Amino acid sequence: TEPRPSNFLRDIVAADVAAGRHGGRVVTRFPPEPNGYPHLGHAQSICLNFGLAAEFGGATNLRYDDTNPEGESLEFARALEDAVRWLGFEPAEVRFASDYFEQLYAWAVELVDKGLAYVDGQTDDEIRAGRGTVTEPGTPSPDRDRPAAESLRLLDEMRRGEHPDGAYVLRARIDTEHGPMAHPNMKLRDPIMYRVRRNAGHYRRGDDWHVYPLYDWAHGQGDAIEGVTHSVCTLEFDVNRPLYDWYLDAIGIAEPRNHQYEFARFNLDYTVTSKRKLRALVEGGAVSGWDDPRMPTIAGQRRRGVRPQAIRSFFDGLGVTKVNGSVQYPQYEYAVRDDLNGVARRVMAVTDPVPLTVENLDAAVTVEAPYWPHDVTPPEGAPLTRALTLGPDLYVERDDVSVDPPKGWRRLAPGAEVRLRHGYVVRVTDIETDDAGGVVAVRATADLDTLDAEPEGRRVAGVVHWANAADARPATFRLYDRLFTVPQPGEDFLDELNPDSLVERGGYVEPSVADDAPDTRYQFERLGYFWRDPVDSAPDALVFDRIVALRDSWGK
Ligand code: ATP
Ligand code: MG
Ligand code: MG
């Protein structure tokens, strides 16, 4: 077996379990905000959180981090849960941070009572300016010493919608050895706990609440409520960790308790992994939707035909680190291909057809053609062969024909001999072209002794795929390429879209596919891995998505 890639989080959890911390229990959570469809970065977090708990007999919750009324919806929440289940994970519980609003509020009241929080009437700009800078201490708010009773009255009014957005906030009152508003970690300079969002219409709580907790005030407490032991997040939250712990101390949650650990977020080159940017692609019409097969969303990859096994094995192989970087796209494609190799039937399709007539074939022949190459063990129960009809009228791929072939050409050319896959060796007798030199039709004669045998006295190296005109099914083929033209799309990502990320072609596919289950994966020989588009394909109007090309064709 291959060596396991390093995963420092697994080492931490293993050490905690060995030391009997938390009574040896492991509880993790996947905490997405339902403000967009999940992407491959979320898939990493899902695999990591569920994988860690499963490895140590623990449990993982799906928790919607739905504390911000803007942009959240049930559609997005459903897409997130779908993604978790599709990847093959079962949440121990499905929880909503918005169900913790009451408890969070009760804790906030406690903090005010203890002198650890106050209502601040400064404007956003004043609050920002009062925070100081990394090198300069800030200035305490004039409201910092507001009496607790007054803060409680204002907080209650804020909660009930008596003050407009921005009129007040609730802030933690953090005193450290550095003095007020002077901690070198800016997150500890009296962070905001609540802000007013009056009549914002939360997708679950409606207008029950007119104040909403900020991330830091909600997250660790949610973890504590659920008994989470290891709270995993991405690296940029390392500066939030002292605040995570400060809040737990302030509300009196004692050890053993939840702890935050950070790992490097996943980035994939030639794409973007941010819900905000993906939403801009959808809303701007750059793609057909969240599930466009070019999107790095789980819904997009799923619709494209990528299997969950591929995504899981990809992340298993990546390991988990604290070093930010970007994974090269071919590495992802490798995992997709590796997964499909063992399950995809090999069949034939012609995506850019040119007619080929076999002049000396009087009648069609039928051959029993294997689905699987010698080096692939067919999946259990899978059929091994199918009948293929080969008649005088065929289609071949335009790319496989050349009137003026380069040196070493092994495909169709004037006078050249090639084998038709699973069929005869044929010799080209004529190639008809139009005024522009484009190939219109090819004529050939077959060596009728070569159906199951090598030709006499000569070696024919080239093999081309074909479709039989009499029974082939017309089909549309969607060929996908990278969505962006640059490896690291920047803030101007909408100007960096690849105009050729989708090429649609009309051609033919062998009739055997008509009897297959709709989710059957294929390798169209010499073309790549394909499946039927689950949205647009119909029995009488087949549409195939190319899941991945046969080999890395990038930069060619
Ligand atoms: P986005 O910017 O795309 O909205 P986010 O981090 O705000 O990402 P959340 O819905 O809050 O999205 O994320 C849910 C979980 O998924 C968090 O624990 C987050 O750390 C993790 N996550 C999000 N993006 C990535 C990524 N690129 N790599 C690894 N984990 C990620
Ligand atoms: Mg977030
Ligand atoms: Mg976000």
Confidence of residue 1 (pLDDT cuts 50, 70, 90): low
Taking only the tens place, the pLDDT of each residue in 126-138 is 999 999 999 999 9
Which pLDDT does position 6 carry in this prediction? 87
| DSSP element (H, E) containing 464 | strand 463-464
The answer for residues whose C-beta is within 8 angstroms of residue 86's C-beta and 6 or more apart is: 298, 302, 308
* Residue boundaries of the structural domains of the chain: 8-263, 353-469
Q: How far is Cα 172 from Cα 108, in angstroms, rounded to an integer?
A: 9
154 pLDDT band, cuts 50/70/90, is very high
The rounded Å distance from CA 32 to ligand 2 centre is 6
Count of CA atoms in the C-beta half-sphere (13 A) of 403: 12
CATH of the structural domain 8-263, one choice from 2.60.40.10, 3.40.190.290, 3.40.50.620, 3.90.1150.10: 3.40.50.620
Residue 134 Cα distances to 137, 186, 222, 244, 505, angstroms: 7, 7, 29, 20, 57
Q: Find the 219 Cα to ligand 3 centroid distance in Å.
A: 14
200: left (phi over 0), alpha (psi -120 to 50) or beta: alpha
At 344 the pLDDT is 98
Cβ atoms within 10 A of the Cβ of 137, count? 16
How remote is the CA of residue 277 from the centroid of ligand 3, in Å? 10
User: Which numbered ligand comes closest to the C-alpha of 38?
Assistant: 1
- Rounded Cα distance, 158 and 210, in Å: 7
Taking residue 472's Cβ as centre, other Cβ atoms within 10 Å add up to 22
pLDDT over 70, % of the chain: 99
Ligand 1 binding pocket includes 141 (Cβ within 6 Å): no
Whose C-alpha lies nearest to ligand 1, atom 7? 33
Asked if residue 314 lies in contact with residue 539, where contact means CB atoms within 8 angstroms, the answer is: no
Atom of ligand 1 nearest to the CA of 263: 29
> What is d(CA 382, CA 436) in angstroms, rounded to the nearest whole number?
46
Ligand 1 atom at minimal distance to the Cα of residue 265: 28
pLDDT at 554: 45
> Going by C-beta distance under 8 Å and a sequence separation of 6 or more, which residues neighbour residue 153?
none
The rounded Å distance from CA 16 to ligand 3 centre is 30
Please tell me the least confidently modeled range out of 193-197, 248-252, 300-304, 322-326.
322-326
Work out the number of other CB atoms within 10 angstroms of the CB of residue 353.
21
Q: How far apart are CA 65 and CA 77, in angstroms?
A: 10
Mean local confidence (pLDDT), 362-370: 97
CA distance 375 to 377: 7
For residue 237, the ligand 1 atom closest to its alpha carbon is: 20
Q: Whose CA is nearest to atom 27 of ligand 1?
A: 41
pLDDT at 556: 37
Nearest residue (CA) to ligand 1, atom 8: 274
Ligand nearest to the CA of 275: 1
The pLDDT of 301-322, averaged and rounded, is: 96
Candidate of 9, 42, 320 to mutate for ligand 1, largest count of ligand atoms within 8 Å of Cβ: 42
Q: What is the reported pLDDT for 553?
A: 54
Q: Please give all residues whose CB falls under 5 A of ion ligand 2, grouped by chain where several chains appear.
A: 33
- Give per-residue pLDDT as tens, 179-237: 999 999 999 999 999 999 999 999 999 999 999 999 999 999 999 999 999 999 999 99
User: Is any ligand 1 atom within 6 A of the Cβ of residue 274?
Assistant: yes
Residue 178: per-residue pLDDT: 94
Q: What is the set of active-site residues? A: 33, 265, 275
Which atom of ligand 1 has the smallest separation from the CA of 49? Answer: 18
Ordered alpha helix ranges (H), 169-273: 215-226, 241-250
* Identical fold between 8-263 and 353-469: no
Q: Is 271 in the pocket of ligand 1 (CB under 6 A)?
A: no
pLDDT confidence bin for 62, thresholds 50/70/90: very high
The whole-number pLDDT of residue 313 equals 97
Indicate the burial class of 393 (C-beta count within 10 angstroms; 0-12, 13-18, 19 or more).
middle
Q: Could you tell me the distance, in angstroms and rounded to a whole number, from the CA of residue 279 to the centre of ligand 1?
A: 14
Give pLDDT tens digits for 314-347. 999 998 999 988 999 999 999 999 999 999 999 9
Q: Is 32 in the pocket of ligand 1 (CB under 6 A)?
A: yes
User: Is CATH 2.40.240.10 the right assignment for the domain spanning 353-469?
Assistant: yes
How high is the mean pLDDT of the chain?
A: 96
The CB of 16 under 6 Å from ligand 1? The reply is no
- Between the CA of 457 and the centroid of ligand 2 the distance, in Å, is 69
